[in-house]
């Protein structure tokens, strides 16, 4: 993909992500555990689909849209799951979710740059 196509893919990822966050919010009201598991399934599904999409542009666009759908609400899902685990200490649970999310980004970053 050229740089213009990458820009379009980021746009698709973002638009789908907004819709996914709205959908995840609705799903979280019904079942937090199922919603978290559903959206985390993207960590298995998306890399496999990207491998098989190969050089097919249309297939890659569809996979990137699915990626945006499954990955965008991840922080929302994790925070909600953590808070629901400790309803009597919601502020503490929320701070743990945020801290460990930031720790994961920080620890994972040095290997991503290389």
pLDDT tens readout for residues 53-93: 888 889 988 998 999 999 888 878 877 887 887 788 888 88
Instruction: Show Cβ contacts of residue 31 under 8 Å, excluding neighbours closer than 6 positions.
Output: none
Q: What SS3 class is residue 31?
A: coil
| Closest listed residue to residue 68, CA positions, set 111, 98, 23 | 23
pLDDT at 99 over 70: yes
pLDDT mean over 4-18: 90
* pTM, entire model: 0.74
């Amino acid at each position: 993909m050229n740089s213009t196509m990458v820009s379009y893919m980021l746009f698709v990822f973002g638009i789908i992500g907004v819709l996914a966050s709205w959908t995840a919010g609705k799903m979280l009201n019904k079942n937090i555990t199922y919603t978290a598991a559903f959206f985390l399934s993207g960590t298995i599904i998306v890399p496999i689909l990207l491998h098989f999409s190969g050089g097919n542009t249309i297939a890659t666009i569809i996979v990137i849209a699915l990626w945006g759908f499954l990955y965008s609400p991840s922080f929302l899902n994790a925070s909600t799951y953590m808070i629901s685990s400790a309803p009597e200490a919601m502020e503490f649970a929320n701070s743990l979710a945020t801290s460990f999310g930031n720790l994961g980004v920080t620890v994972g970053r040095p290997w991503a740059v290389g």
